[in-house]
Structure 1
């Protein structure tokens, strides 16, 4: 039999001579304590025990209190009540579910009972391990289902207007993510919506809010885009016309504002107590002119990389994060893309990627790497993946990473 550690539980720490000799004969290690000593012991000060031999004069309630105290430290010893003379005192303990030990305390009988206790403890541990493993498998399966559902909220394929190349990289830190991206067409395919967002926190809660926010944004934008198109047609506006000025475009700004303001209103009205919010970049691109109107709600500034070699332009926040403050103002930002330019939109999992020494990748290194990379979307994302991998080394990915590259091909590249 493996080494058995026994706690002798008695109000006076009395261990009958016969029992003490029998325990010694079978090689058991004994520890005599009063119930009060066990209950008052600091965490980690109690010895690991396989069995508790409780004197029958103790009440079953007291014995249960002691075993609960041991259970707080992960111990699950088998309880055996013993008596010297007043054998009727064992009745309450047996009814309470304890085993029992009777005199004379012969070593062979004591060893057999302790062996039963040891095997019982091993069986309990095995049962618990099996149950814990089954629960883990069930939890992992639920997470996998959640991952599949979440992936269903992401676009299966990205729109590809003529002469445009749009690619994405999406790497959750866990099975489910708080990051999301979306690219979809608006106003009768005349505008392109570009969304990258990051719900605070990670895991299941963030993933649920990701699905909610993404659905609100897309539904509101699509409905507003349709209304915007009808209004523009009635006013005789040309939705596909050039919008090179800084004036608010007739088509594009309305669905953008309605989507962001409406989503923020809904979240602050119904989900403030959950404490989730999101940073978000939502841009509406005219693929004919390259004009971009956007709202950056507290998100990392996307980088507009010039194909002509001009300095990169950072599209700074135009409003707060969404889901925190009701009735806030979101301003519109404007940018213009030319053939050869690339827009790089990302989440903070990129800039906050940590190296093995704990340093952050950071915005400066991001811009440096982007200016060194080729501008074509796929090659740009490959370059950034490599730069992040080299920087992080063996360190674990700590946050979701999303990168969206939008490239306007030059006429030569488009012809190829």
Structure 2
């Protein structure tokens, strides 16, 4: 007979000597516990067993409660109730579905009964494991469907203006992500919107809010028309010049923040984001940085990278907050590198972060191209992480303006790296 683990309840009259002798002659592993221990001990201290051997005098409902606790630990044992004379009590256990042993307690008879119980317990565990696998497969299928739906919210192709390159790396930590990026045209193609955002947390909840926030931002921006925002010009003299695309930018961010804080503040989800609007003809950029990692403007001359600092809080945190505009100029040879915190906070096996200083070190010198910048940083993140688990989503976007202008279909324009 294969090894059978037996829990013997020892707070009632002990099993008869003949029954104990039969157990000793078989390949069993008896452990003694009181019913109180089975009902109140910490779950991790409960024994794993095939059979729970109890006297007929034990309270049937209490035994069932103990079995339920053991089931949560590692599967329910088969209850075998023994008696010498308490047949009325035995009948109550039988009605509860418990097995039983009565004299004579001959080794062959006891062995056959316990062997049968062990096989039933094993079959029960197998069925529960099969159910768990089926449930897991169903869950994984749902996640895969969620991943496919989420992928539909990311742009299949990027609208790349003449004389520009856009490269993206997007690596979720799980099957669904809280990070997202978007690139789309505004003002009848006169401006290009670039968005990189990071919803707090990760997994399914973050992915749902990612889809909501992305949709709100794009819909509001695309439907804000051709309004101009009068902003202080850089020509001196206090003159005011129109900034095409600034109104859709402000409308999108403030409206999204307003919707989230009015309707979803209780859920506790928010998103940091960088939303820039580029004039492809001049390279001028107006942007809002809502609590996001400052993107880095990499100079074609190799100067120290310029961070595009925060201009307002994350969206979804503060009702009626104020967002201000930032301005930058992307000249020929420059690259705007936008990333989420999964890059500097990538962890190696001992838990150390890649760090902001290392990011700046890797980006030192004039950028060769957006593709080179993204691939260099992605390689550094992977090498730093090594065999460790990826703790956060990683998203990078490089907007590069080559010195020699190339058309949108030239090599290197609009590349995406999705892994």
TM-score by length of 1: 0.91
2:193 partner SS? strand
Q: What pairs up with 1:58-207 in 2 under 5 angstroms?
A: 58-207=58-207
What is the TM-score with the length of structure 2 in the denominator?
A: 0.91
Q: Alpha-carbon deviation of 1:177?
A: 0.5
Unaligned runs of 5+ in 1: 238-242
**Which position in structure 1 is the counterpart of 2:417?**
none
CA deviations over 1:191-233 (Å, ceiling 9, x no partner): 1000000001110000000000000000000001x2xx2x56x
- How many pairs are equivalent? 404
Residues 294-333 of structure 1 mapped to structure 2, 5 A cutoff: 294-333=287-326
For residues 133 and 317 of structure 1, what CA distance do their matches in structure 2 show? 46
Which residue in the other structure is 1:387 paired with?
A: 380
Aligned counterpart, 2:211: 211
Provide Cα deviations, 1:114-143, integer angstroms capped at 9, x if missing partner. Answer: 001110111011111111111111111111
Larger helix percent: 1
Inter-partner Cα distance in structure 2 for 1:305 and 1:31: 69
Of residues 349, 352, 374 in structure 2, which corresponds to 1:359?
352
Using the TM superposition, name which of 250-259 and 66-75 deviates more.
Answer: 66-75
Post-superposition offset of 1:338: 1.2
Which residue of 266, 279, 282 maps to 1:273? Answer: 266
Q: 1:41 to 1:217 in 2, by over 3 A?
A: closer
CA deviation profile, 1:39-58 (whole Å, cap 9, x unmatched):
34454444432201221122
Deviations 1:269-320 (A, max 9, x none): 1001111111000001111111111000000000111113333211000011
Question: Which residue does the alignment assign to 1:31?
Answer: 31
Q: 1:262 to 1:111 in 2, by over 3 A?
A: same
In structure 2, C-alpha distance between the alignment counterparts of 1:402 and 1:131, rounded to whole Å: 37
Deviates more, 1:75-84 or 1:211-220: 75-84
Bigger relative contact order (CA 8 A; separation at least 6): 2
1:220 matched residue in structure 2: 220
Q: Tell me how large the CA RMSD over aligned residues is.
A: 2.2
Give a deviation string over 1:154-197, Cα, whole Å, max 9, x none.
00000111101111111111111000000000010001000000
Counterpart of 2:275 (choices 260, 273, 282) is 282
Aligned to 2:416: none
Q: Give the corresponding residue for 1:240.
A: none
Name the CA distance, whole Å, in 2 between partners of 1:216 and 1:20: 72
2:253 aligned residue (260, 263, 268): 260
Measure the CA separation in 2 of the matches of 1:45 and 1:410.
69
1:337-385 deviation digits (Å, cap 9, x = unpaired): 1111110000001111122333222222212212246331112212222
Answer whether contact 1:13 1:33 (CA < 8 A) is retained.
Answer: no
- Secondary structure of the corresponding residue to residue 377 of structure 2: helix
